[in-house]
Amino acid sequence: MLDDRTGPLSRFSAYLTYAYHLGITTRTSLALGFGAGISQLGLDRSKLFFDVPVDPVVYSSGQLNKIKPDFNAGVWLYSADYFVGVSAQQIIPEKIAFTDRVAPNPGKLVPHFFGQAGYRILLDEDYNLIPSVMVKYVDPLPVQIDFNTKLQYQDLLWVGASMRTYDGFAAMVGLNVSNTFNIGYSYDLTTSRLNTISKGTHEIVIGFLIGNKYGDWCPKNVW
């Protein structure tokens, strides 16, 4: 479930997701993932201020659109040495209208497409380096590429860095505290013109591995 509020706009969405992992060889697996749910946009008119006190575009409705279905999907090929995958979010385009009346040129939420690949380079018995790349495309914006690298020590500790074209840089660190608990932190620095209102983003991720009967520090072949 996601409840995001930015100024007068709000978005609520909820999904049920499922992934099926199929072993192709002893070292390579294929994962298929699907997500189905609902999405709704909202508008708080009390946070809008106009030169004209009553704007007919938003006055008649406080809801940009009704609850609508949404669908995501992806394919992931991976082994202990590499991974490659493609995915899409918001597959069902969703029209956006600021009023209940018929709009001549309504906006819409369009599909987001992602492609990614990475490779594990063994430096020695304790360290491995994982360069990767992710390509994002949202029509009509230009293609955006993330260049990433991660240095990992014995499936215990890792540090990484990322560069995003047209946008910024990021640094990250993570720790597998035990075979069932891990934690990660990243800081994203915006270098585009958005940095006039965004001074950076902090993100903390906490993970729990349930049912790890083998007691390994890290699940095999998971990046």
Residues 167/192, Cβ–Cβ less than 8 Å: yes
* Residue of 200, 202, 192 lying closest to 142 (CA atoms): 192
Average pLDDT, the chain: 85
- CA distances from residue 143 to 45, 114, 201 in whole angstroms, order as listed: 34, 10, 22
Beta carbons of 48 and 61 less than 8 angstroms apart: no
What residue segments make up the domains of the chain, in order of their start? 1-119, 120-223
Q: How high is the pLDDT of residue 219?
A: 45
Cis-peptide into 140, omega within 30 deg: yes
Contact 96, 107 (CB under 8 A): yes
**pLDDT the model gives residue 218:** 46
The residue-averaged pLDDT of 105-131 equals 91
Element (H, E) at 210: none
pLDDT of residue 222: 54
In this predicted structure, the answer to whether residue 176 has a pLDDT above a threshold of 70 is: yes
CB 91 within 8 A of CB 110: no
